[in-house]
Amino acid sequence: MNLITYPPGKSVFISFLLCLLPIIIFSQSQGETTDDQIDTKYREDQFYVGITYNLLNNIADEIAQTGFSSGFHFGFIRDFPLNESRNFGVGIGIGYSANSVNHNLLIQDTGQNDYSYTIAEDGTFSKNKFSLHLVELPFEFRWRSSTATNYKFWRVYAGFKFGYVLSSSIKYRGEPKDFKLKNIDDFNKVAYGLTLTAGYDKFNIHLYYMLNHIFKDESRLNNQVIDMSFIKLGLMLYIL
């Protein structure tokens, strides 16, 4: 078993926000555009930053989440308007996602990348979580009520997101002993699902529904496939 060496997701998230700060200040300092300055080639919502609550879906009766499970997401989406008023189009981008889940599913390395799955009894552990870090490729169909001079508007974005797991880890603290694992083979390397974002102005409700499974089919609890997936619900902030 190896110690975890990847950078913490929260540190990457904070660093990204610091990099975006000059962009936010610059965009706010521009003020309203007059009618004769309207840019008919304007684009919206190029950068996104979000936080979600990660809910496990389709889990066995014995499995339960034991604490707050969070996700941090950020990236860049290229906006492609498809009509003359530029309020409908598509978005294609790339992003980063860090996710953690606290639960009672005890995953142990039995040797040579072979893992066993049992349920940790209540009161026998103080921490038990897995973490996934992904690079993601979002694709969105986008509608909004914006114009080149209107910076507060309604939006509805529906689409699809494909992700590739860069690193995975497990951290357990409890009986019979503490341990850490990284890059677990039993996690699926790809994740894909449907997305929906809707709201007004900068902050919007975001939903992600995973279509495949977190674990590979070879992963078994009581001889049953662990076919659980994610539902992520949170807030998304768009910039520029």
CATH code assigned at 64: 2.40.160
Domain that holds residue 230: 48-239
Nearest to 48 by CA among 209, 198, 240, 210: 240
Q: How many domains are there within the chain? A: 1
**Could you give the C-alpha distances from 116 to 61, 183, 222, in angstroms and in order?**
18, 15, 10
pTM above 0.75, yes or no: yes
Do 214 and 186 touch, CB atoms closer than 8 A? Answer: no
Q: Which two tokens stand for residue 81?
A: 């308007």
Q: What's the rounded Cα separation, in Å, for the pair 234 and 239?
A: 17
Residues 100-158: pLDDT tens digits?
Answer: 999 999 999 988 778 999 999 998 999 999 999 999 999 999 999 887 777 788 999 99
Residue 19, in any domain of the structure: no
In a domain, 37, yes or no: no
**Nearest Cα residue to 153 out of 99, 194, 204, 119:** 204
Burial 164-173 (b: 16+ CB within 10 A, else e): ebebbbbbbe
Residue 10 included in any domain: no
CA dist 208 and 14 (Å) reads 22
Compare 111 and 176 and report the one with higher pLDDT: 176
Dist. CA 207–CA 190, nearest whole Å: 19
Instruction: For residue 82, tell me if it sits in a domain.
Output: yes
* Confidence band, pLDDT 50/70/90 cuts, at residue 87: confident
Ramachandran region, residue 194 (left: φ > 0; alpha: ψ -120 to 50; beta: rest): beta
* Helical segments of 54-180, H only: none
Q: Binning pLDDT at 50, 70 and 90, where does residue 99 land?
A: very high
pLDDT at 1 over 70: no
Distance of alpha carbon 177 from alpha carbon 124, whole angstroms:
10
Asked, for residue 113, whether it belongs to a domain, the answer is yes
Domain contains 110: yes
H or E element, residue 207: strand 203-210
Residue 220 forms part of a structural domain: yes
Residue 179 domain flag: yes
Which positions ≥6 away from 177 have C-beta within 8 Å? Answer: none
Burial class (CB in 10 A: 0-12, 13-18, 19+), 18: exposed
